[in-house]
């Protein structure tokens, strides 16, 4: 399996899942400004969408979009929940992708002034809702972290980058993730410390 990633982008969630799998994988860094891979290939020729994550699989070829990629990885490596918890996984992936990740769009796009402040407030509100929905749980779907936790974790890193306030529950969640061996390995492989 091959992962196309950009350091610190949402593809970090997939990278963590691949590390956790214990399986071999290849990784190719993508410059999202030039849309070139680290070896100079045109990333649009590989993935017409032009963004990460993208995984090249042996069974279905190239797969993009976080909900699909993360669900595929969980299924492929035996980490996917079943029954009602599977639908909760999809619910979390949808919420994180649409509401939280999508809310960062104006900030990644260079919004300034009132527009940037409005985006920060909107994302902070979604983080507050995520903390409320987690209740007393440490992880999104049970006793251990899963692919949805990886995705939410990545967005908490962006909160620091853009000065978005996290609720204490999510600051603690981020700290728990930072203590995970797979998180540290994936971040190190991406040059993130």
CB crowding 139-150: b at 16 or more within 10 Å, else e: bbbeeebbbbbb
Question: Do 150 and 98 have their domain in common?
Answer: yes
pLDDT attached to residue 142: 84
Sign of the Cα pseudo-torsion (76, 82, 88, 94, in order): positive
Number of continuous H segments (helices) and E segments (strands) in the chain:
10, 5
| Pairwise CA distance, residues 124 & 146, whole Å | 23
Question: Do 158 and 103 have their domain in common?
Answer: yes
Question: Do 55 and 73 have their domain in common?
Answer: yes
Q: How many domains does the chain contain in total?
A: 2
Question: Do 88 and 146 have their domain in common?
Answer: yes
pLDDT, one tens digit per residue, over 155-184 is 999 999 999 999 999 999 999 999 999 999
pTM of the model: 0.97
Question: Do 66 and 135 have their domain in common?
Answer: no
Q: Which CATH number do you get for residue 8?
A: 3.40.30.10
pLDDT, one tens digit per residue, over 65-103 is 999 999 999 999 999 999 999 999 999 999 999 999 999
- The H or E element spanning position 16 is helix 11-21
Question: Do 13 and 43 have their domain in common?
Answer: yes
Residue-number span of the structural domain to which 104 is assigned: 84-180
Read off the pLDDT of each residue in 48-52 and give the average, rounded to a whole number: 96
Res. 130 pLDDT band, cuts 50 70 90: very high
Question: Do 174 and 106 have their domain in common?
Answer: yes
Contact yes or no for 77/17 (Cβ under 8 A): yes
Question: Do 89 and 116 have their domain in common?
Answer: yes
Percent of the chain residues topping a pLDDT of 70 = 100
């Amino acid at each position: 399996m091959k992962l196309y990633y950009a350091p610190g982008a949402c593809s970090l969630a997939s990278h963590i899942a691949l590390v956790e799998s214990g399986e071999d994988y290849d990784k190719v860094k993508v410059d999202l400004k030039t849309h070139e891979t680290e070896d100079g290939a045109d990333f649009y020729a590989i993935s017409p969408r032009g963004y990460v994550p993208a995984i090249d699989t042996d069974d279905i070829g190239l797969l993009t979009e976080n909900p699909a990629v993360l669900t595929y990885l969980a299924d492929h490596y035996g980490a996917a929940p079943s029954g009602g918890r599977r639908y909760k996984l999809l619910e979390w992936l949808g919420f994180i992708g649409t509401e939280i990740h999508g809310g960062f769009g104006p900030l990644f796009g260079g919004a300034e002034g009132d527009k940037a402040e409005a985006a920060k407030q909107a994302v902070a509100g979604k983080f507050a809702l995520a903390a409320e929905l987690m209740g007393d749980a440490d992880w999104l779907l049970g006793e251990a972290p899963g692919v949805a936790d990886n995705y939410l974790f990545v967005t908490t890193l962006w909160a620091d980058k853009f000065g978005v306030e996290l609720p204490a529950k999510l600051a603690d969640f981020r700290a728990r993730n930072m203590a995970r061996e797979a998180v540290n390995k994936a971040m190190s492989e991406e040059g993130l410390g």
